[in-house]
Amino acid sequence: MELIYPINFVGHDSWIQSGYNPRLSHGDVITRDGEIIGTWRAIDYDPDDEFSGGTFEFTAFGEDPIKFVESFSSIDARMSRGFALSTLTRIIKEWYESNNPEIS
């Protein structure tokens, strides 16, 4: 698996290609160096309604509560879903780097 971004959402592309199948709406969050730092999931959306909103969640590895959330207004609108994922990625990256100053 090629990890090209500083923060990678494993399984995200498969979820989109499946038509937002709820069984595929989760995966690991991995750094470019291959460190698993948590999990992601998409919830509160209707895969049969292209205008359905939803939420991305991030849970840090070894923690129970959800650490970060970001909502999107339309599952099938790349701008809405992409902006939410981009925002969540930035938040995770900032959190990760602040907890690991040796990698910044």
pLDDT in tens, the chain (104 residues): 788 899 999 999 999 999 999 999 999 999 999 999 999 999 999 999 988 999 999 999 999 899 999 999 998 888 899 999 999 999 999 999 998 888 75
Q: Which of 58, 29, 53 is nearest to 41 (CA)?
A: 58
Structure tokens at 99: 């907890």
End-to-end Cα spacing for the chain: 23
Backbone phi and psi for residue 13, each to the nearest 5 degrees, phi listed first? -65, -40
Structure tokens at 79: 């701008």
Q: pTM, whole model, 2 decimals?
A: 0.92
Whole-angstrom distance, CA of residue 71 vs CA of residue 53: 7
The Cα-based distances of 33 to 2, 3, 8, 63, 72 in angstroms read 10, 8, 10, 21, 28
Q: Residues 53, 67, 90, 35: is their CA dihedral positive or negative?
A: negative
